[in-house]
A and B are shown apart, each in its own frame.
Chain A
Amino acid sequence: MTSVAVGDETAMRRIGVTVNGTLQAGEVSVRLTLADFLRQDLKLTGTHLGCEHGVCGACTILLDGRAVRACLLLAVQVDGHSVTTVEGLAPSATVLHPLQEAFCAHHGLQCGFCTPGMLTTLVEFLKDCPDPSAEEVRVAISGNICRCTGYDSIVEATLSAAANMRDGS
């Protein structure tokens, strides 16, 4: 690793990161955020930027399986790690993740801008808590802001998806 002078915004560093199962290697500016790396360099535009200061949750991705804000991380910080974005949730082009199925079935999305962050947050949550109460789901998504739905339909969708996932469907 080359050392980088503090304040040198033109400095580049080579990183390798597994994104949705594929190793991506390349040179990035040391100040490039992970969100911009995903959106601009990898063209994975499903990760949305709603506030760029870590509050709204729209840019949430999974870093080694944990939900984190892609706007608050630098691309260089995920060197050697594994990232899953919304584009990596569905098992195939014809099959959706159970959470995605349930969001559609329960009108859990309107404009769809917050949806990727909701989904990634909930993927992590249901792994830790496969049989949640509605209240637990609300707490789980309390760091993800949706201006459209009023959240009830998202909670319903999550409970439905959790039940389906427990049934193995």
Chain B
Amino acid sequence: MTASGFPNSRVIGHDVARVEDEALIRGVGRFVDDIVLPGMLHVAFVRSPHAHAAILGIDPSGALGMPGVHAVLTLADLAPHLTDTRLVVAMPSPSYRQQLHRPVLADREVVHVGEPIAAVLADSRYLAEDAAALVDVDYDVLPVVADCVAALEPGSPTAHRDASSNLVAEMTVEYGDVAAAFAAAPHRFRERLWIHRGGSHSMECRGLVAVHDVLEDRLTVWSSTQMPHAAHRLLCDIMGLGERQIRVVTPDVGGGFGPKLIFYPEDVVVAVAARLLGRPVKWIEDRREHFVATTQERDQYWDVELATDDAGRVLGVRGLLVHDHGAWTARGVNVPQGAVAAMPLAYVVPAYSMAIKAAATNKVPVTPVRGAGQPQGVFAMERLLDSAARALGLDRAEIRRRNLVPAERMPYATPMRTRGGIPVVLDSGDYPRCQQMALDRADWAGFTARQQAARAEGRYIGIGLANYVEGTGRGPYEHVSVRIEPSGRIFVATGAAAMGQSTQTMLAQIVAEQLGADMSNIRVVTGDTAAAPLGIGGSNSRQAVLAGNSAHAAAIRVRERVLEAASQMLEVAAADLEIEGQRVRLKGAEEVGLTLSQVARAAAGQAGFSLPGQAGPGLAASEELVIDAMSYANGSAVVEVEVDIGTGAITIRNLVFAHDCGRALHPRIVDGQLMGGIAHGIGNALYEFMAYDENAQPVTTTLAEYLLVTATEMPPVTILHMESPTPLNPLGIKGVGEAGVIPIGAAVASAVEHALSSFGVRVNRLPLSPVDLLGLLNAATA
């Protein structure tokens, strides 16, 4: 692809080779489980087999008697070394009705299957797992809360035995006069929806290695986390240690997709155990643990209503969202809040009122998975618009066109605020044109003829669409430092954390653009608290926006220093110099110049001698560009499906995804992010279901039961790009890491309903397995 977004650039905007690939492609990357230290002990956790039970006693003697077992740690063993026995990680919100801070290890009560109770440390993982089975925990099983709606019924058992109710949080997101809008509206449409999403299922599960260096009294923790700086701060807090005494490093991370941004009980246990036992300690989560102990998204029940005028223009939206919060507050209320914030965002919605109730259940805590509630909010809005279009006799694309925020109103200040209180202002874009691009490529206009031809053959095909607007680049900042070493090599360090999104390539590109265009001369360190003093990390499609722009600003400052110092050394004007590869040289007389190494050594200074130029010592700069306002990306998905009414199988025949994330730093990486998200969205629409029985026992705990999309389920996908540079940052970029997943479920539902319109089927749920679909068909035709 061409670099249309950056017309005069040499590196950014181009599909350059990724710096990550060299090691990964040969199998010599370093993931956390690849780290081996002498004398290392391995952890296996004793986990609750019950969804809810009192712990009457823990007897480790059977395990301790086994050869190769070094310790069995319970909360009583750890507590003397902790400032708090609970993980206080909830983001601030006035909506909480009770605090559910989870314990480092459960000691009196377990509230979900998989909750950790004890840690066994042994010479090998094999021995640790053997011994974990011999730790005898005496349980008294308690009543279980398995469903979030039932959880809020009067008389429901409580997920925590000492709680007075299961209501964890409640809030209402609202603006405008909704009651008046509905009272005056000629048309109202109501939908009751059940939307399920499952886990992230990065191919690499979680894991940590910790080692305590007694000489420096420093604990180093390698963690497969998206947020090393947050983990660092929380470890310092709970262990009562100074910042210098702990270093958190992310090695290669095999995917994140949300749950790895959470701080977990296992993180504390492994770190404390390494100090306690004076040995390196490793814990590698297995896939079954990932199903029962890593956070996930799950169930939301929406009861929503749309008011329109006769032309289908939206007058108001209102409703109630009941959200399955899980057993603990592992992050906050950001998933339902994100869902409700995303719901109206693409459209002009004059009045809005959505109530949220988050209910505790005896299941794994819910925290963001790629998309973080936004797919559900989009699903609810798009279902309502389809309902209105059908009743009003409007084309589904037309009702959306009439309501999308038009380009001429950009920037469009909505009455909403983000969870941090920052006004939601849609900064740029042309949503109607983006939708039209998708419709044209998918031949929306010609679909009726295709459908009639298929129907004549006894086949049921349908087409559907969905729009989204996504807040990306959540601030306030990300740290990046750029330094030219005396060798002439360029070292970049950042608080941004890489988990497969090409973060190192992205930063190397931006720095190379200013400093010689030689990617091979740049080394980028991500996610190391010893290399970057500040950092936030990977979430909210934020790192290209925040870290990218900090890198851009820092690289420009270093460039100015290079040119200033070289100008003095060469006795020529700085404006006549350029940086090419590892040299600074005179434009038009390339033999006149200096190596970056020569300039760096001069700028480093010598005792008693003046520095070259006026820019001060060293060739380095660090930046934490503060960008509070989010940049809003948008897109439209059109999906064509075929439904087999005999088997209930749904086949996606074609998928067109038109989107706008501002300028693309690396078009191929942008496509890769979108494709991964689209595949995830297809999984959420048709395959992924985290099932529990009525006792809150998880029943899909292998990848044979919980179905991830494979290559054969992927339809033909066409991605179309618009580029509306955001005015909110110097590079004009918006985030793209989560975009792909957001509209897919809604578009698939629209298409399936359309395919089965002759039966009057209404799609009010996700996912849609063949069994689910036959159920909807039977209900419609009964």
Contacts and interface: CB of A to CB of B under 8 A. Distances in A.
Interface string A70-92: 00000000000000011101100
Interface string B112-144: 000000000000001000100000000000000
A142 B702 contact: no
Nearest to B286: A52
| Interface size grouping (class) on chain B | 35 or more
A62 to B, nearest CB: 13
A53 B710 contact: no
A50 B27 contact: no
B708 A104 contact: no
A113 B672 contact: no
Nearest to B15: A107
B203 A110 contact: no
B21 A109 contact: yes
Given A112-B29, A147-B201, A148-B255, A107 B668 contact: yes
B520 to A, nearest CB: 14
Contacts of B79: none
A153 B675 contact: yes
B24 A112 contact: yes
Contacts of A100: 25-26
A96 interface: yes
Contacts of B21: 103-104, 109, 112
Given A47-B27, A149-B675, A58 B203 contact: yes
B500 A50 contact: no
Nearest to A55: B703
Q: Is the interface of A mostly helix, strand, loop or mixed?
A: loop
A149 B529 CA distance: 29
Contact of A152 (B30, B287, B717): B717
B714 A150 contact: yes
A148 B26 contact: no
A162 interface: no
A154 B672 contact: no
A87 B287 contact: no
B126 to A, nearest CB: 7
A45 interface: yes
Given A50-B204, A53-B287, A152-B717, A113 B711 contact: no
B110 to A, nearest CB: 24
B500 A48 contact: no
A115 to B, nearest CB: 6
Contact of B502 (A29, A47, A110): A110
Interface stretch (B162-170, B175-183, B676-684): B676-684
A6 interface: no
Contacts of B678: 150
B277 interface: no
Given A55-B702, A56-B203, A113 B31 contact: yes
Contacts of A150: 672, 674-679, 714, 717, 740
Contacts of A161: none
Contact of B702 (A53, A85, A139, A154): A53
B17 interface: yes
B20 interface: yes
Given A46-B27, A51-B703, A112-B29, A146 B203 contact: yes
A83 B253 CA distance: 26
Contact of A86 (B27, B252, B287): B27
Contacts of B27: 44-47, 85-87, 115-116
Contacts of B252: 111-112
Given A107-B18, A147-B680, 6 more contacts: A53-B703, A112-B29, A139-B712, A146-B203, A147-B201, A155-B711
Interface of B: 15, 17-18, 20-21, 24-31, 33-34, 36, 126, 130, 200-205, 252-255, 257, 286-287, 499-502, 668-669, 671-672, 674-680, 702-704, 708, 710-712, 714, 717, 740
Q: Which 7 A-B pairs have the closest CB atoms?
A: A46-B27, A111-B500, A112-B24, A113-B254, A150-B675, A86-B27, A150-B679
29 contacts: A39-B33, A43-B36, A48-B33, A48-B204, A55-B702, A58-B203, A86-B27, A87-B26, A100-B26, A109-B24, A109-B25, A110-B255, A111-B202, A112-B252, A113-B203, A113-B254, A115-B24, A115-B27, A119-B25, A137-B711, A138-B714, A142-B710, A147-B679, A148-B672, A149-B675, A149-B676, A150-B675, A150-B679, A153-B671
